[in-house]
Amino acid sequence: MPAGFETISGLAQATPSKIVFLVMDGLGGLPHPDTGRTELESAQAPVLHGLAARSSLGLSTPVAAGITPGSGPGHLALFGYDPAKYLIGRGVLEAVGIDFDLQPADVAARGNFCTLDAEGLISDRRAGRIDSAAAARLCQELDGFSLAGVQCLVRPVKEHRFILVLRGPGLSDALTEMDPQRLGAAPLPVAATRPEAEPAARVATAFVERARALLRDCRPANMVLLRGWSMYPRLPALAEVYRLRAGAIAIYPMYRGLAKLVGMEVLPAGETLDDQLGALERYWGQYNFFFLHYKKTDAAGEDGDFGAKVRAIEEADRRLPRLLALKPDVLVITGDHSTPATLAAHSWHPVPVLLHSRWCRPGDADGFNERACARGDLGRLPATDLMPLALAHALKLTKYGA
Residues of this chain that bind a copy of itself (CB under 8 A): 7-8, 11, 30-31, 38, 59, 63-73, 83-84, 87-88, 90, 93-94, 228, 340, 343, 346-349, 359, 361-364, 370-371, 374-377, 379-381, 385, 387-393, 397-402
- The closest of 383, 385, 391, 390 to 28, measured between CA atoms, is 383
For the bound state, the minimum distance from the C-beta of residue 346 to a copy of itself, rounded and expressed in Å, comes to 6
Supply angle C-alpha 147, 152, 157, rounded to 5.
165
- Per DSSP bridges, beta strands 246-249 and 19-24 are unpaired
Closest to a copy of itself by CB, 282 or 361: 361
The alpha helices in 112-237, defined as continuous H runs, are 132-142, 198-215
Closest to a copy of itself by CB, 75 or 296: 75
173 vs 104: CA distance, rounded Å: 12
For the bound state, the minimum distance from the C-beta of residue 237 to a copy of itself, rounded and expressed in Å, comes to 19
For the bound state, the minimum distance from the C-beta of residue 84 to a copy of itself, rounded and expressed in Å, comes to 7
For the bound state, the minimum distance from the C-beta of residue 223 to a copy of itself, rounded and expressed in Å, comes to 22
386 vs 8: CA distance, rounded Å: 12
Closest to a copy of itself by CB, 89 or 199: 89
For the bound state, the minimum distance from the C-beta of residue 43 to a copy of itself, rounded and expressed in Å, comes to 16
Write out the H or E segment, with its range, that includes residue 75: helix 71-78
Residue 221: partners with Cβ closer than 8 Å, 6 or more residues away? 113, 114, 115, 127, 130, 134, 135, 138, 160, 215
Maximum CA pair distance of the chain?
74
What number of other Cβ atoms are within 10 A of residue 169's Cβ?
A: 9
Task: Report the chain's terminal Cα–Cα distance, integer Å.
Answer: 21
Closest to a copy of itself by CB, 187 or 257: 257
For the bound state, the minimum distance from the C-beta of residue 341 to a copy of itself, rounded and expressed in Å, comes to 13
Closest to a copy of itself by CB, 67 or 148: 67
Closest to a copy of itself by CB, 65 or 133: 65
217 vs 284: CA distance, rounded Å: 55
For the bound state, the minimum distance from the C-beta of residue 105 to a copy of itself, rounded and expressed in Å, comes to 21
- Per DSSP bridges, beta strands 107-116 and 122-124 are antiparallel
For the bound state, the minimum distance from the C-beta of residue 157 to a copy of itself, rounded and expressed in Å, comes to 12
Closest to a copy of itself by CB, 316 or 397: 397
41 vs 49: CA distance, rounded Å: 9
For the bound state, the minimum distance from the C-beta of residue 390 to a copy of itself, rounded and expressed in Å, comes to 8
For the bound state, the minimum distance from the C-beta of residue 187 to a copy of itself, rounded and expressed in Å, comes to 21
Closest to a copy of itself by CB, 168 or 340: 340
- DSSP-derived secondary structure letter, 73: H
49 vs 133: CA distance, rounded Å: 44
> Residues 40-51, buried b or exposed e (16+ Cβ, 10 A)?
bbbbebebbbeb
Closest to a copy of itself by CB, 14 or 87: 87
**Cα-only R_g, the chain:** 23
Residue 374: partners with Cβ closer than 8 Å, 6 or more residues away? 59, 380
Closest to a copy of itself by CB, 319 or 380: 380
Is the Cα dihedral 378, 381, 383, 387 positive or negative? negative
